[in-house]
Amino acid sequence: MPTVNPEILQWARTTAGLPPEVAARKLDIGDARGISAVDRLAALERGTEQPTPALLRRMAEQYRRPLVSFYLKSVPPKGERGEDFRTLPEQRDPGEDALLDTLLRDIKTRQGLLRAALEDDEDTQPLPFIGSATQRMGVEAVGRSIATTIGFSRDTFSSARNPEAAFKGLRASAENVGIYVLLAGNLGNYLTAFSVNTFRGIALADPIAPFVVINAGDARTAWSFTLLHELAHLWLGASGVSGPVTADIAVERFCNDVASEMLVPSAEIGALALPRTFEMGTAVAAIDTFAAARNVSRSMIAYKLYRAQRLSTPQWEGLQQHYRELWVQQRERRKGERSETSTGPDANVVLRSWLGPALLGTTQRLLRSGDLSTTKAGKVLGIKPTRVGTILQLSEAPEQHRG
């Protein structure tokens, strides 16, 4: 069995935000042979003792790390996030930053490999819309530029049979012009699942291989808003990480406004009738009906009402909390339904959905042309080389079209 670098043990614990005494308790390390639990943990982190396989598994669970990360030769560098556009709560899990850094390193490595392969393709041309906009252009102008470039139709979006179908069409529109749209829910297992506080979306602006990553664990009705929000970041040429909807950061407010205006114009929001005296139940019912008819999230409609000064800050925050609690309840109910049936979606189907048609199609084309080896194709897709054939055979994705 390979030896574990003790620096990795200390790094995993500290980035999980656990002091030694708390970690020892969570790991079920007790006093033994006159040595305290904390000292026994310290011995492991000094390298004078080696962890057992069972203890490593508990560390992976409690530190929220993939088991394989404990066999790294050295502590991984902190991920470059670009700009951090999140407004973070005072009380949060510090381990979430470690998960985010790991995700960013992975996505940027995959983007770099794809970019290098595309640059070797003589048909590849830089995408002119990346970094083509500024906030001075205004919300409507940037929204029109995005809509014109990707061929976005509000009527087509709102008439889709449900929010998932609407997102699928929007994703296809973005991918058809050369943007790779990925979903990411975890780092390989449920112990490393991303909360919406970790991130909602990531934009990696690049003229050859621009990436947008959406938190698959977020409400599906929010995916389209997040995608448009991150497209606005690409148009601004601003790589970075976005969190829950906030009005505190100027560029986030701008991208929120671009996305929400594309989905529901401000003039249309006036059609939503609210009682003169605010009452939570009545407001929720009105917003639910309005949002469902347009395949958008209720939270986004509440945000639009707030930006239009039809809701006070406490009223908007109250609605946000209500929708958050409702989503958590629905998520737990779905988990219960899956556990009762003891069945879940096929892992390959889920992976294909998360990777998206553009990345699958481009990888398949570059593999066939010899611009990517099977090993590098696996790295681009984030899977083992032995799975590449299976995933690409499942994929019926067309080759990516670049405008």
Q: What pLDDT, in 10s, does the model give residues 362-378?
A: 999 999 999 999 999 99
The helix or strand, by DSSP H or E, that contains position 358, with its residue range, turns out to be helix 347-369
Is the confidence at residue 310, as pLDDT, over 60?
yes
**Based on the domain organization, do 324 and 358 belong to the same domain?**
no
Residue 88 belongs to some domain of the structure: yes
pLDDT at 81: 54
Q: How far is 153 from 171, CA to CA, in rounded Å?
A: 12
**Based on the domain organization, do 99 and 52 belong to the same domain?**
no
Both tokens of residue 68?
């394989």
pLDDT at 401: 47
Residue 279's SS3 state is coil
81-90, 207-216, 294-303: range with lowest mean pLDDT = 81-90
**Based on the domain organization, do 131 and 59 belong to the same domain?**
no
For the stretch 119-173, pLDDT in tens is: 887 788 999 999 999 999 999 999 999 999 999 999 999 999 999 999 999 999 9
Confidence of residue 215 (pLDDT cuts 50, 70, 90): very high
The helix or strand, by DSSP H or E, that contains position 215, with its residue range, turns out to be strand 211-215
DSSP conformational letter for 209: S
- The residue from 71, 99, 125 where one domain ends is 71
**Based on the domain organization, do 22 and 95 belong to the same domain?**
no
pLDDT at 395: 57
Is the confidence at residue 398, as pLDDT, over 50?
no
Residue 26 belongs to some domain of the structure: yes
For the stretch 315-339, pLDDT in tens is: 999 999 999 888 888 877 776 665 5
Residues contacting residue 357 through CB under 8 Å, at least 6 positions apart: 172, 175, 395, 397, 398
pLDDT at 173: 98
C-alpha dihedral sign at 237, 238, 244, 247: negative
Check: CB of residue 378 under 8 Å from CB of residue 114: no
Residue 288 belongs to some domain of the structure: yes
**Residue 205 backbone class (left: φ over 0; alpha: ψ -120 to 50; beta: rest):** beta
- The residue from 263, 281, 312 where one domain ends is 263
Its domain, for residue 101, covers: 83-263
pLDDT at 399: 47
pLDDT at 214: 97
**Based on the domain organization, do 242 and 275 belong to the same domain?**
no
- DSSP E strands: which ranges in 235-350? 240-242
Q: How far is 347 from 343, CA to CA, in rounded Å?
A: 11
pLDDT at 397: 47
**Based on the domain organization, do 163 and 283 belong to the same domain?**
no
Q: How far is 198 from 31, CA to CA, in rounded Å?
A: 35
Residue 76 belongs to some domain of the structure: no
Average pLDDT over residues 346-373: 94
Domain count within the chain = 4
**Based on the domain organization, do 62 and 97 belong to the same domain?**
no
**Based on the domain organization, do 249 and 205 belong to the same domain?**
yes
96-100, 112-116, 174-178, 364-368: range with lowest mean pLDDT = 96-100
Q: How far is 371 from 97, CA to CA, in rounded Å?
A: 34
Share of the chain above pLDDT 70, in %: 88
Of residues 334 and 262, more confidence is placed in 262
pLDDT at 66: 74
Both tokens of residue 76?
């991984």
Average pLDDT over residues 189-214: 89
Residue 400 belongs to some domain of the structure: no
**Based on the domain organization, do 31 and 175 belong to the same domain?**
no
**Based on the domain organization, do 167 and 209 belong to the same domain?**
yes
DSSP conformational letter for 2: P
The pTM (predicted TM-score) of the whole model is 0.79
The helix or strand, by DSSP H or E, that contains position 201, with its residue range, turns out to be strand 201-204
For the stretch 63-76, pLDDT in tens is: 877 777 787 778 77
Residue 402 belongs to some domain of the structure: no
**Based on the domain organization, do 108 and 166 belong to the same domain?**
yes
At which residue do the structure tokens 């102008």 appear? Answer: 141
Q: How many CB atoms lie within 10 A of CB 41?
A: 23
**Based on the domain organization, do 246 and 310 belong to the same domain?**
no
Q: Report CA-CA distances (Å) from 68 to 75, 138, 359, 380.
A: 13, 47, 25, 19
Write the CATH number for 14. Answer: 1.10.260
Is the confidence at residue 86, as pLDDT, over 70?
no
